[in-house]
């Protein structure tokens, strides 16, 4: 074989080998892209989980199961199965989440059950509307919430307080009024019904009620807080402080926590007996 023939043979062999490599790579490209896409989606969910904890958990709960009287559950079968029909949304669930998170909500769609934080009911989170998050961060947040769709179970939402029973009255905002005798056991049950335990016991969204390390429980802490130089409320006794924290929660916010998180409708939805029971229970947490 001449030198030229050998060179032609090597060139043809190289072309065939290159073509085979390209063909093999091309046949594997779909699988490679699927793996890459899954990895990117996984990172988006992971980053969305961190954003949810930072930005959303204090209103929608650590596990997304909502906080009664404040904000609805998102990790909920009904949210994925019925929400789009309730609000007449024609797009995808993910796009609905992105739109709602981006622009917020001026008023609650279920004000009797979930009044939200006030006005607006839900703030805007997109930096296009003055919020703290970029578009890609909101997409990651939506990816995390969508990740609950396959495993979400039905969340039972407590009914709003009914009409007060005979002999009771709506509490109002007068913290000096004389309350009826309280029942600590009934108060403990009411804290679960109202969802108080989600913020004050199950998570650190609100000040801890139970004693933790060197910190006393709320039953003892109430007596200390009314003498704190930074106290801005009007209570003169631990009982009044506890009533005030329920019916007028933003008059004094414990340092380290945010205002506007505690539901602001208890003054007009709880009875004097409800509050007496809650105070009786909280005073047992020394």
Q: Which of these ranges, 20-29, 43-52, 62-71, has the smallest mean pLDDT?
A: 20-29
Domain that holds residue 267: 184-282
pLDDT at residue 258 in the model: 79
Place of tokens 């029942």: 183
Identify whether 47 is part of a domain.
Answer: yes
**CA separation for the pair 286, 212 (Å, rounded):** 10
Q: Is the same domain home to 29 and 132?
A: yes
Tokens of 189: 């049950």
Answer yes or no: is 10 within a domain.
no
For residue 274, give both structure tokens: 């409800």
Q: Give the pLDDT of residue 276.
A: 96
What band does 192 get if pLDDT is binned at 50, 70 and 90? confident
Same domain, 61 and 122: yes
Q: Could you tell me which residue, 198 or 88, shows the higher pLDDT?
A: 88
Reported pTM: 0.62
Phi first, then psi: give them for residue 71, nearest 5 degrees.
-135, 150
- Check residue 99 and give its pLDDT: 96
pLDDT value, residue 119: 63
In contact, 63 and 75? CB cutoff 8 Å? yes
Mean pLDDT of all residues in 211-219: 90
Query: What band does 118 get if pLDDT is binned at 50, 70 and 90?
Result: low
Q: What is the mean pLDDT of the chain?
A: 87
CA distance 185 to 201: 17
Has residue 92 been placed in a domain?
Answer: yes
Quick one: what percent of the chain has pLDDT higher than 90?
A: 54
pLDDT value for 252: 96
Check residue 166 and give its pLDDT: 66
State the Cα–Cα distance between residues 278 and 182, nearest whole angstrom: 7
Burial of 217 (0-12, 13-18, 19+ CB in 10 A): middle
Distance separating the N- and C-terminal Cα atoms of the chain: 99
Residue 190 inside a domain? The answer is yes
Nearest 5°: the CA angle 247, 244, 265 is: 10
* Cis amide linkage into residue 104, ω under 30° from 0: no
**pLDDT for the residue 193:** 77
């Amino acid at each position: 074989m001449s030198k030229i023939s050998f060179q032609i043979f090597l060139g043809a062999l190289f072309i065939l080998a290159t073509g085979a490599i390209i063909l093999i790579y091309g046949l594997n490209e779909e699988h490679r892209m699927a793996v890459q896409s899954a990895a990117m989606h996984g990172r988006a969910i992971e980053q969305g989980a961190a954003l949810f904890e930072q930005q959303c958990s204090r209103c929608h709960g650590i596990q997304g199961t909502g906080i009664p009287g404040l904000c609805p559950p998102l990790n909920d079968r009904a949210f994925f199965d019925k929400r789009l029909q309730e609000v007449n949304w024609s797009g995808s669930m993910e796009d609905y989440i992105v739109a709602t998170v981006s622009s917020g909500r001026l008023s609650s769609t279920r004000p009797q059950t979930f009044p939200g934080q006030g006005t607006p009911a839900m703030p805007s989170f997109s930096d296009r509307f003055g919020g703290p998050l970029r578009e890609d961060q909101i997409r990651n947040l939506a990816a995390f919430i969508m990740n609950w769709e396959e495993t979400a179970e039905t969340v039972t939402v407590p009914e709003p307080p009914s009409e007060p029973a005979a002999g009771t009255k709506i509490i109002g905002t007068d913290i000096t009024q004389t309350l009826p005798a309280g029942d600590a056991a009934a108060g403990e049950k009411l804290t679960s019904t109202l969802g108080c335990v989600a913020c004050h016991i199950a998570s650190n969204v609100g000040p801890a009620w139970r004693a933790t390390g060197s910190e006393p429980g709320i039953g003892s802490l109430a007596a200390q807080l009314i003498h704190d130089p930074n106290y801005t409320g009007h209570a003169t006794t631990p009982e009044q402080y506890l009533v005030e924290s329920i019916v007028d929660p933003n008059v004094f916010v414990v340092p380290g926590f945010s205002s506007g998180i505690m539901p602001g409708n208890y003054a007009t939805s709880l009875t004097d007996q409800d509050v007496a029971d809650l105070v009786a229970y909280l005073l047992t947490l020394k």
